[in-house]
Every structure is written in structure tokens, then in C-alpha cells.
Structure 1
Amino acid sequence: MKQEKRQEIILYAVMRSGYVSIDSLAEELGVSSQTIRRDLAVMDRQGMLERRPGGASYRTTILNSSYEKRQVEDLKDKERIARAIAEYIPDNCSIFLTLGTTTEVIANALLCRSGLMIITNNTVAALTLNKKSDFEVVLTSGYMRKSSHGLVGESTIDFVNGFQCDYLITSTGGINESDGCLVDFHTADVSVAQAMMRHSGKVLLAVSPDKFGRHAVIRFAPMKSVDMLFTCEPIPARLSELAETSGVNIVTC
């Protein structure tokens, strides 16, 4: 099969499913995984799709991949980052925790700590954290978004404004490679996270490698608003320079 025809099939599969793995494409097309990797690299450079760990997703700046797909994507990377954050967080402190599948993994890792008070709009994370008898878990008000099981809205922001926490633990949809700005996909989610950021002593950002240079339509916060960035691979040189200039401490786990 010619490369042009193969890439046409790959693009259709990505558009149909949102995300496809290298192994499934190799099996469907009867070629090696290395051939698929080369095709995805070319198609990513041409802007046809977005390479992701283990596969590729449809390139868009206005829609994130589905919640179910994000729950399983990059899970090992998220677990490594989560363990590093849990090791850094001290016992007996207060934490804001935002929405996201990454923060859900972090919630599970935090169970190794003691005496935490967590204020969150993430219902999935709240249920995990509530297993610990010495944790005080505070769930915000708001209306629940079906796509993320998270609480958002003006009442959520008003609720958050009534607290001041030692830490904010958050993730982001992407980081703009030109200026280091954190970007995301949903205004309602971002508005709550920004309120938490304003009332936090220190901001901890969890970033899996696929978020570096990823585009999204909503500008969340400048790089300088982050105190510590946790990731599991060296970050691109341009972003590393921006982080250093902004006073961000990078932790590679």
C-alpha cells in the first residue's frame, strides 16, 4: 500500500475515533509499528493530526479528547508525576485540587499523606480522598458537567473565594510554546482554577509530556503564576528557558 493511501486511512481512523493507537493501526494496515510511527511523524508535521504517546489524536484547539480516553492516556506518566507531588506535599496542610484526569491520579497518590484538608470541585477525586479517615474533604457547590463529573459555575467560584489554601495542585490542557502560557479548552473549568490560583500560597502544576506545545483556545494563566512544574521527561528547550525566566522550579521525576 502506498504511503499516501495509508495516511488517508490513518486520518479517517483518527477523525472517526478521536484517538487511535499505533498497534491498532499497524494491525489494521498490515505494516510494522515503526512504519506507523513514521507516518504519524509526517502527518503531525503537516498539521493533519497530533502525535500522542502510543498513538495519535485529532488535532483541534477547541475540543479536548473525551474524558474516557483521557483517563487511560499517559497513565504511567501521570502516576509518576502524582507520586512526586505526593512526596513533596507535607502532612497537615490545605490544598485546592482542580478538575482533570491527572488530578484524579494525584488524589489517589495523596492517600499516603496524613491530615490533609482538600477543597475541590472534582467529584471523582473527592470520592477517592474521602477514603482517608484523617482527611477533611470539602466539595464545592456548582452544577456538574457531564463530560468531566466536575462542579463549575459562579457559585463554585464564590465558594472557592471563601478559602485560602497552602497549595493548589492543577494540570492544564497545554502549554503555549511561544510564551509559556497555560492553555485549556473549557471556560468554566478555567474560571474555577483561576479563582483557586488567586487564593493559594503555592501553585503546583502537573504536566505530562504531550502537553508541551499543545494548542488550546483559552489562555489559562501565565507561566510566572506557577511555582513548581512536575513532569516526567525533560521539557523542550524554549519552555525550559521561559520557566527559568519566570522563576518556575521544574521537577523531572
Structure 2
Amino acid sequence: MLASTRRNKIKEILMKKKSVKVSELCEMFQVSDETIRRDLDELEREGLIERNYGGGVLKKNIVVPPLLFRMEENIEEKEKIANKAIDVIKEGMSIFLDAGSTTYQLARYINYKGLKNITVITNGLNIAAELARNTNITLHVTGGNLKNVNYSLIGPDAVEYVKKYNADIAFLAAAGVSLEKGFTTSDIFEAEVKRSMIGSSRTSIVVVDSSKFGKDAMVSFCNIGDVDRVITSGVQNMDVIDDLKNHVVIDLAN
């Protein structure tokens, strides 16, 4: 397990329990107390916890953005999806990275795997911040209005910016996947950006964890057959997967 993944899981525990103990975390993650203490030191530097002798306590008045919860949900699935998706990206390609927690993991893996000489266009400010330190890629960030809850740039300016490009691949997030409603999201303006990315790329790939299948969010942004591929992970309802396979390629990254 990556250190960052372990720390994200510790954050998730902190949000629920408000405190953690070194001994319990050692047993949970099967690592040494020195490793856990380093993790807690890092969380203290981030301003999230106050250290004590046996562990750490969540600081008072910490405001947790909704995106942070989503980034920590099903984190192992999302990392498997990102690790699978990155195999599709080749040197010289241009890609869209839609704003989302799974696409953010793909951005992390672009850095982790040391991809070079690619162009990334994104409407996710957290994705842009993750990739900004990578001097081996070309990074473009759309304009638009900021949606604070998930750091996405949306609206007419974002849509028009996307339309300027002819990308090789669009990697898209989704809040829901069903045969009846297709791929869905919670915001009509986010849906417009996603449609623009699909229309401006040669190949479109939805990256989505198992919790989204069989669910419908408020706005459909495309039908199942409008994308080329779905990469997912986790325990799936195979009846749903089999139905979807009649319309799109499904890759299980398990």
C-alpha cells in the first residue's frame, strides 16, 4: 500500500472517530509503529491533527470539503482503476482529465509512474495542483466558474475552452451508471463540460468505482454506448455488468 493511501485511510478514520491510536493503526495496516508515527507527523504538518503520546486527535473546527470525503471513499478501488487506466496513455498523447476523485487518482499515478511528454487538459483545480509539479508534461487548465465543493471549473467558458482541443483520450468521472440513464452527474453544468470532452476526443473512457453502478444522479451526460470503454474495480453486480457489456467495453481492474 502506498504511504499516501494509508494516510488517506487514517484521515477517513479520523473524520469518523475524531482520534486514532498508534497501536490500533499498526495492527490495522500491519506496519511498524515508526511508520505510523511518520504518518501522524505528516498529518500534524498538514494541520489536521494534534499529536499525543499514544496517537493523534482531530483538531477542533476542522472544516472538511465534501470532495475530501469522496477522495477517501473506495480509495483502493480508485487506485486500481488509475493503475489500469494509465496503461492506455502513451508518450505524445493529449488527454482530458475531467474533475473527479477517481480522475484525481489517475493524475497522481501519472506522477507516480513518471509519464513524460504528454499534454493534460483539465477542469479540476486539485488535479492541476497535483500535476503542476511535473515538469515533464504540458498542463492546460480550463477557464470557467469554480464549483467549490469539488474544485471543478464549469460553465460556458470551460465548455468553449475544451472545444479548442482535439484530444486523444477523455477520462471522465461519473456519479452514477445505469443502462436506463447512462452516465450521470449531479450538476447540469458539469454535464455540459463532460459532453464537450467526449465530443473533443478520439476516445472516451469512464473511470468509476463499483459504488456508482445501478445508481442515477440528477443529470445524464451521455448514454452507455456513447463512450468507448469503462474501467472499474471492486465487487460488482455481474448481472448489471453483463447488461452493460452489450453496449460498451468493460475493464475490471481487480
Classify the secondary structure of the residue corresponding to 1:245: coil
Tell me how far apart the structure 2 counterparts of residues 239 and 193 of structure 1 sit (CA, whole Å). 23
The equivalent position to 1:141 in structure 2, one of 136, 140, 143, is 143
Which residue of structure 2 lines up, in the alignment, with residue 122 of structure 1?
124
What letter is aligned with 2:107?
Answer: A
Kept in 2, the 8 Å contact 1:170–1:205? The answer is yes
Which residue of structure 2 lines up, in the alignment, with residue 181 of structure 1?
182
Tell me how far apart the structure 2 counterparts of residues 171 and 147 of structure 1 sit (CA, whole Å). 15
Change (3 A) 1:98 1:171: same
Change (3 A) 1:172 1:99: same
Which residue of structure 2 lines up, in the alignment, with residue 168 of structure 1?
170
Kept in 2, the 8 Å contact 1:229–1:248? The answer is yes
Kept in 1, the 8 Å contact 2:181–2:220? The answer is no
Kept in 1, the 8 Å contact 2:232–2:250? The answer is no
Deviation, structure 1 residue 88: 2.5
What letter is aligned with 2:74?
Answer: D
- Equivalent pairs counted in the alignment come to 193
Deviations 1:191-232 (A, max 9, x none): 101100111111111111111112312112111112121111
Tell me how far apart the structure 1 counterparts of residues 224 and 191 of structure 2 sit (CA, whole Å). 15
What letter is aligned with 2:88?
Answer: Y
Which residue of structure 2 lines up, in the alignment, with residue 151 of structure 1?
153
Kept in 1, the 8 Å contact 2:185–2:191? The answer is yes
What letter is aligned with 1:154?
Answer: P
What letter is aligned with 1:108?
Answer: R
Deviations 1:42-69 (A, max 9, x none): xxxxxxxxxxxxxxxxxxxxxxx92221
TM-score normalised per structure 2:
0.70
The equivalent position to 2:134 in structure 1, one of 132, 143, 153, is 132
Deviation, structure 1 residue 169: 0.6
Change (3 A) 1:226 1:235: farther
Kept in 2, the 8 Å contact 1:180–1:243? The answer is no
What letter is aligned with 1:179?
Answer: E
Asked if 1:216 is matched to 2:249, the reply is no
Mapping for residues 201-240 of structure 1, pairs under 5 Å: 201-233=202-234, 235-240=236-241
Deviation, structure 1 residue 180: 6.1
TM-score normalised per structure 1:
0.70
Deviations 1:89-141 (A, max 9, x none): 21220001111111111101112211110111111101111221120000011
Classify the secondary structure of the residue corresponding to 2:217: coil
What letter is aligned with 1:118?
Answer: V
Kept in 2, the 8 Å contact 1:224–1:248? The answer is no
Kept in 2, the 8 Å contact 1:228–1:251? The answer is no
Percent of counterpart pairs with the same letter? 21
Classify the secondary structure of the residue corresponding to 2:133: coil
Kept in 1, the 8 Å contact 2:94–2:118? The answer is yes
Mapping for residues 1-253 of structure 1, pairs under 5 Å: 66-111=66-111, 112=113, 113-176=115-178, 178-179=179-180, 181-233=182-234, 235-253=236-254
Tell me how far apart the structure 2 counterparts of residues 250 and 222 of structure 1 sit (CA, whole Å). 18
